[in-house]
Structure 1
């Protein structure tokens, strides 16, 4: 089997895994919440508790997932997380106890984190660098593929049956899709480490020692801090933009549900392609340059909502935001995979994912609080605009992930022999 075919199969399998753990494991609950509330006689305070536990579990294991990669096979960690998530989705079809529902949905947050974080290391070891950006872009779009399926099937199922049937149907889909993916992941032989070539190791370390000067570890920590700051800011505005765009359209702009539904559909559909487009650009030029452009486009999206208050501007904002959203989240792991050796990517990406989650929790709460205090989302989106500008400035100062003059593998890594994550 050729390397190209093997890489294609890996990408298809990993995309399916993201569909299971994120589109099904993380987002089905929010789509059927009203039916669950009325059926189990719980209130939205309890729903908030479930969502908080799920998010907390996801954040915690975003960090722990990177650490686990040092002790557990990446293949096993990804595969077991996907299968366990499929089982959890299926089991929810038979749950009628609110507290058991809370426990299982919380576990789904763990499975999402421990499937996604190790994928960065897996891709770094099994996908050639020239294809890595495109691959991670497609993989990160797995959520969009799943959300489209959710949008078609869930309303139909709820019209004809109960919310338990939703879990049952998607549980079967998850287990079948997961089993096929795990089979192929284990059937294919892993490629040799595609990032580090022994013949270049000596030159690589010499280059880094020159680049980092006498304070290599200090420079190393500096870039970690910059990346963490970038992800916190991303969480502060990217996630709240998505969370509050529909309420803003309906309550602030006075648009109807059909218009806001159209905007959401545009966002989801465009998101399918954004990851691939960003990945192609990252492979051709650099992930740093692609991030600058993607974050820059997000400024245009938010500005159109802040300065132009009509339906056309809102639709345009969702279209532009869809172009950047999945693309940005695919570029983060692409960048990490290029500046660190494979065995260290999961740890840094776990820390970055944790930072993103912390930012999103603060941003979502702040957006709701601003709406409550001012009666409008206007100030919240103005603050998002400021943060989007800051992310572009940060991207300008991060280390390039590709030497444009002499593209040697490992040339732009942030490590030396003494460095550790």
Structure 2
């Protein structure tokens, strides 16, 4: 045996794992931060509301107010994130998002009174608003053009993985529900540390100079214009207006399902707690299919895929009111909604980047700000509607409104970011 072989390291990592822009690192780090900030920090609160109400002796109004604080935190963070990207690059806001998720969920896990609980929920709610918009810039910097849509769509499906994890942990924790939140916080910490080593900083860093230089050459006039000027100019574009109105409507209609679907099926079908958690998990598992958005856009075009997905998600909302205890129909609704929700969010993300090529995070942030603005408004409107009709009637009206997305499709064919 040669001396060279004797001194060869025994546990050398494959080069693909060490390379910062390898598929494993870019997709893995991005997917995990989305799972932690969106799937766990933001969407899991509703799953624990019964336990929270019991332990802290809160009424429905207080629980709702805490949930609204989470949405408001997200909206404010979404406005701040693009400015941080333009000033410091993608890495800082992504790390801040991971840190607020870790801190917020730790506070929820350790809270012994409603004030600390509310603070934790609000901080956790801020995290996706900080971390998600910069991912578009990071993908543009780290990935070649032909891979960007595919990688983004897979990363976007991280929400589903977070929802999938939350269900089993909720069942495992049982009455010790705060232990589950401490586990969520640990996942967020791991995601933050991974992104620390993977995500790019400012475009002026040595390894990003060439790519950033090309982008500035493509559009030197708009590359550094103030955000206010950029948005004023973009809002005159019909394609941008279609994108933003569609995002707002999408947030309005889907929030009804996220907020009241479990309540609807529990009231009509008398499902036990385990059945409700399983329904929630099916929604999350189905969302993994949304990772195919990049492939579908490349093959069929964004407008056609968005048209199909809008019809499907409207149907999923409508058929939930027709279940009448039929578990097959309930499961069908959960599968279609979960898959189409993640798919459509990815489609809006891809569309926003094509509308804002000179500032991807600005378009990303504004689009998802409007989705969340709709999600903030909708539960209140649905609650008022439920007093006038019943909740099944609210879902039927929501399904009809969802068809309005068909009037707000992109006019031009889009097949990549």
* Cα distance in 1 for residues equivalent to 2:144 and 2:106: 36
Change (3 A) 1:155 1:51: same
Once the two structures are TM-superposed, the CA of residue 305 in structure 1 deviates from its matched residue by 4.0
Partner of 1:113: 129
Give the root-mean-square deviation of aligned CA atoms: 3.3
* Cα distance in 1 for residues equivalent to 2:187 and 2:346: 25
* Secondary structure, aligned partner of 1:32: helix
Is 1:399 aligned with 2:412? yes
Structure 2 counterpart of 1:362, from 377, 381, 395: 377
Once the two structures are TM-superposed, the CA of residue 56 in structure 1 deviates from its matched residue by 0.9
Once the two structures are TM-superposed, the CA of residue 10 in structure 1 deviates from its matched residue by 0.9
Once the two structures are TM-superposed, the CA of residue 219 in structure 1 deviates from its matched residue by 8.1
When structure 1 is superposed on structure 2, of 43-52 and 325-334 the one drifting more is: 43-52
Once the two structures are TM-superposed, the CA of residue 37 in structure 1 deviates from its matched residue by 3.0
Change (3 A) 1:333 1:198: closer
* Cα distance in 1 for residues equivalent to 2:396 and 2:193: 46
Number of aligned residue pairs:
386
Change (3 A) 1:168 1:297: closer
Once the two structures are TM-superposed, the CA of residue 284 in structure 1 deviates from its matched residue by 3.1
Change (3 A) 1:308 1:104: closer
Change (3 A) 1:185 1:301: same
* Cα distance in 1 for residues equivalent to 2:80 and 2:234: 24
TM-score (norm. length: structure 1): 0.80
* Cα distance in 2 for residues equivalent to 1:339 and 1:117: 14
| Equivalent pair of 1:13/1:182 in contact (CA under 8 Å) | no
Structure 1 counterpart of 2:297, from 258, 282, 285: 282
Partner of 1:173: 187
Change (3 A) 1:326 1:218: closer
Structure 1 counterpart of 2:252, from 209, 212, 236: 236
Is 1:64 aligned with 2:74? no
TM-score (norm. length: structure 2): 0.81
* Cα distance in 2 for residues equivalent to 1:307 and 1:152: 28
Change (3 A) 1:308 1:331: same
Is 1:95 aligned with 2:108? no
Partner of 2:353: 337
Once the two structures are TM-superposed, the CA of residue 118 in structure 1 deviates from its matched residue by 1.4
Once the two structures are TM-superposed, the CA of residue 353 in structure 1 deviates from its matched residue by 1.4
| Equivalent pair of 1:297/1:320 in contact (CA under 8 Å) | yes
Mark the runs of 5 or more structure 2 residues left unpaired by the alignment. Answer: 1-14, 222-231
* Secondary structure, aligned partner of 2:42: coil
Once the two structures are TM-superposed, the CA of residue 110 in structure 1 deviates from its matched residue by 1.8
* Secondary structure, aligned partner of 2:382: helix
* Cα distance in 2 for residues equivalent to 1:309 and 1:163: 31
Partner of 1:382: 396
Once the two structures are TM-superposed, the CA of residue 175 in structure 1 deviates from its matched residue by 1.6
Partner of 1:208: none
Instruction: Note the 1:149-188 alignment, pairs <5 A.
Output: 149-159=165-175, 162-185=176-199
Once the two structures are TM-superposed, the CA of residue 164 in structure 1 deviates from its matched residue by 3.5
Structure 2 counterpart of 1:33, from 49, 52, 59: 49
Structure 2 counterpart of 1:49, from 61, 65, 68: 65
Once the two structures are TM-superposed, the CA of residue 261 in structure 1 deviates from its matched residue by 4.9
* Cα distance in 2 for residues equivalent to 1:219 and 1:51: 31
Partner of 2:225: none
* Cα distance in 2 for residues equivalent to 1:262 and 1:85: 25
Partner of 1:272: 288
Is 1:315 aligned with 2:331? yes
Structure 2 counterpart of 1:298, from 287, 292, 313: 313
| Equivalent pair of 1:125/1:192 in contact (CA under 8 Å) | no
Once the two structures are TM-superposed, the CA of residue 151 in structure 1 deviates from its matched residue by 1.3
Once the two structures are TM-superposed, the CA of residue 244 in structure 1 deviates from its matched residue by 2.3
Is 1:371 aligned with 2:416? no
